[in-house]
């Protein structure tokens, strides 16, 4: 039986392709699952315990721990090699943006402890199937402009970026 990926899965895959096309280095592999859990236990053992009630963290990958414990869907190195990190929590649900922003603020000690300089809630609207090459280029340009503005401001901020797939 053919299973069609959910909208969220399609959106995540499309966003990864956009980041790759822009030459933005995904930095999840800079961390091991064990080191992420160790840091999380040190910073907020209660958070780890709460997440562990619903997820088997001892069997999770680094990417899953970043998502479930730290609230990070994508961890990127904005300078390519200097380990200047930005975190992205991607959402297609516009009504969840404020909730995600509050969560990111609450988890600031967690992600700041990893060396994340800025945290972005990225709300994406539209169908990934409708994304054109020109639309992807425009998205990349807007994403970089918003990130640059944030990096020129205070450290450890939580920012909202709204993108439309076209």
Q: Of 140, 129, 104, 122, nearest to 21 (Cα)?
A: 140
Ordered per-residue pLDDT tens for the chain, 166 residues: 666 678 888 888 888 888 888 888 889 999 999 999 999 999 999 999 999 999 999 999 999 999 999 999 999 998 776 778 999 999 999 999 999 999 999 999 999 999 999 999 999 998 888 888 888 889 999 998 999 999 998 999 999 999 998 8
Contact 77, 85 (CB under 8 A): yes
Q: Is the dihedral of CA 117, 143, 96, 35 positive or negative?
A: negative
What's the pLDDT at 84? 82
Residue with tokens 């990864």: 16
User: Where do the DSSP E strands lie in 45-155?
Assistant: 74-77, 85-91, 116-125
pTM of the model: 0.91
SS3 123: strand
Q: Which two tokens stand for residue 73?
A: 């869907």
pLDDT at position 2 is 64
Task: Tell me how crowded residue 73 is: count the other CB atoms within 10 A of its CB.
Answer: 22
Residue 122 is predicted with a pLDDT of 96
Is 91:71 a contact under the CB 8 Å cutoff?
no
- Cα separation, 87 vs 74, in Å, equals 6
Q: What are phi and psi of 148, to 5 degrees?
A: -60, -45
């Amino acid at each position: 039986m053919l299973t069609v990926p959910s909208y969220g899965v399609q959106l995540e895959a499309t966003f990864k392709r956009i980041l790759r096309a822009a030459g933005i280095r995904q930095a999840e592999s800079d961390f091991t699952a064990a080191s992420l859990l160790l840091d999380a236990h040190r910073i907020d053992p209660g958070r780890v315990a709460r997440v562990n009630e619903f997820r088997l963290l001892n069997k999770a990958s680094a990417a899953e721990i970043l998502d479930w414990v730290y609230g990070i869907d994508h961890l990127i190195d904005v300078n390519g090699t200097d380990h200047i990190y930005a975190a992205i929590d991607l959402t297609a649900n516009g009504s969840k943006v404020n909730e995600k922003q509050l969560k990111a603020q609450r988890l600031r000690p967690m992600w700041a402890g990893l060396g994340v300089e800025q945290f972005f809630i990225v709300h994406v609207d539209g169908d990934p199937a409708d994304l054109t090459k020109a639309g992807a280029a425009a998205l990349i340009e807007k994403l970089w402009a918003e990130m640059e503005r944030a990096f020129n401001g205070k450290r450890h901020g939580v920012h909202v970026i709204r993108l439309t797939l076209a």
